[in-house]
Amino acid sequence: MFFDLPEELQMFQRAVRDFCENELKPHAQEIDESASLNMDVIAKMPAMGLTGLQVSEEFGGVEMDTIGASIAVEELGRVCGSTALSVSAHNGLCCGPIMLWGTDEQKQTYLPTLTSGKYLGSLALTEPQAGSDLLNGAKTYAKRDGDGWVINGHKAWITNPMYAPVIVVLCRTDQEAGSRGFSMILVEPNTNGVTLHPPEKKMGVKGSPTQMITFENVRVPASNLLGEEGRGFHQTMQTLDSGRISIGALSVGLAQGAFEEMVKYASERQAFGQSIAQLQLIQEKIANAAMEIEAARTLIYKAAWTKDQGRDYGKLAAIAKLKATEVAEKVCFDAIQVHGSYGYSREYSVERMYRDQRLMTIGEGTSEIQRVVIARRVLKEFNG
């Protein structure tokens, strides 16, 4: 186990932080207010490896380990939740499954495009009537027909479709086979019968597009199957375990960003003849935030490290995501409190961070689902 980041990861972190400070932070407020990503900033990301964090170099990526990928997402989250969410989903939810289960041809076709900085990938699991309970509730159906699949159904709350060259779609391919009746299928959004609905109007992460997708007799070649037929549910669970580390890292970033604003403001704001940072009740918030962020980040690194060791990390990923998202919620809340009325103003970034963090206890498995996962694992370990 490690207690400090290796030198090369520290250098990577500094480089990503500089990039985020100089290239992304100046646009963060506008990204939120215009509810639109800044694709010029995304176009600069391949130079930093941010659009192919865990993709092989031959396809334009930088093949980082999971700790490196988490560091990058944390740094993005520190300055812009919307961009961090879209880049996290792109890397973990779209490039990840294609790297893991794609054929050579699928990798050649999609990964160089995905890592180019011109696009952002998507994964479509959730449906209007089913999020946590995909197994019983997901209805999108792909029927084998000659040399292809014909897909019908609706996906909801999907990140990035408008920027995606390809969407990984979870479909039922056998109505009778339960958890073995799902498959992942690659669908290009410009295929006949695919409708991308307008982006949802959201409370936070407004710049990150979240869309409903309708599939109406969408025909794709049989070779668009990603991985084995019938393994889609298993692939989904694996993808979500990994995605939880990333959403946790994003949450640590949001907490870190709000924490820094809190300390800065507390040091400058005067009340009762001194800076409010001298008041013990304000110091309590600063101390608690420092402690909780450190704890959350350590859990993220531990889950990432365990994954990189090839060990079972599902419980740790759920613990890390749950802790980090709840820490982000509390720290962003306190950051506004320390800012007083100014924290309630759109002029101050803590207002945006507070809205952005609210998604984190919902996406990629709600906090309730994380607790279900953790408790199930603990009970299994305990009772055998």
The residues annotated as belonging to the active site are 364
The runs of H, that is alpha helices, within the chain are 7-19, 25-34, 39-43, 66-79, 81-88, 96-101, 104-114, 134-137, 232-268, 280-308, 314-339, 349-357, 367-383
Q: Which helix (H) or strand (E) holds 274?
A: strand 274-275
Q: Which is nearer to ligand FAD, 85 or 296 (CB)?
A: 85
Interface positions, 146-185, toward ligand FAD (CB under 6 A): 157-159
Instruction: Report d(CA 99, CA 244) in Å as an integer.
Output: 18
Q: Which is nearer to ligand FAD, 160 or 306 (CB)?
A: 160
Residue 135 contacts ligand FAD per CB under 6 A:
no
| Rounded (10°) CA dihedral 268, 270, 273, 276 | -80
Q: Which is nearer to ligand FAD, 9 or 362 (CB)?
A: 362
Using CB under 6 A, pick the residue from 49, 209, 227, 363 that binds ligand FAD: 363
Q: Which two three-digit tokens encode residue 251?
A: 């949450």
Query: Exactly one of 13, 113, 116, 132 binds ligand FAD (CB under 6 A); which one?
Result: 132
Q: Rounded to the nearest whole angstrom, what is the least distance from the CB of residue 236 to ligand FAD in the complex?
A: 9
Which of 97-105, 214-222, 281-289, 367-375 is the region at the interface with ligand FAD (rule: CB under 6 A)? 367-375
Query: Binding string to ligand FAD for residues 300 to 339, with x set by CB under 6 A, is what?
Result: ----------------------------------------
Q: Is 359 left (phi over 0), alpha (psi -120 to 50) or beta?
A: alpha
The reply to whether 238 sits near ligand FAD by the rule CB under 6 A is no
Q: What is the Cα–Cα distance from 339 to 186, expressed in whole angstroms?
A: 46
For position 228 contacting ligand FAD by CB under 6 A, the verdict is no
Rounded Cα distance, 15 and 372, in Å: 38
Beta bridge partners of 185: 169, 225
**Residue with structure tokens 């990432």?**
304
- Establish if 265 lies at the interface with ligand FAD (CB under 6 A): no
Write the binding mask 64 to 103 for ligand FAD: x where contact by CB under 6 A, - elsewhere.
Answer: -------------------------x---x----------
| CB contact at 8 A, 266 and 278 | no
* CA-based radius of gyration for the chain: 21
Decide if 159 contacts 86 (C-beta within 8 A). yes
C-alpha to C-alpha distance for 48 and 72, rounded to whole angstroms: 9
Stretch that binds ligand FAD, among 47-55, 69-77, 120-128, 331-339 (CB under 6 A): 120-128
**Smallest gap from residue 378 Cβ to ligand FAD (A):** 16
Among 82, 91, 115, 210, binds ligand FAD (CB under 6 A): 210
Among 40, 58, 312, 368, contact with ligand FAD (rule: CB under 6 A): 368
Exactly one of 64, 67, 123, 360 binds ligand FAD (CB under 6 A); that residue is 123
Residue count, binding to ligand FAD (CB under 6 A): 23
Residue numbers at the binding site for ligand FAD (CB under 6 A): 89, 93, 123-126, 131-133, 157-159, 202, 205, 210, 359, 362-364, 366, 368-369, 372
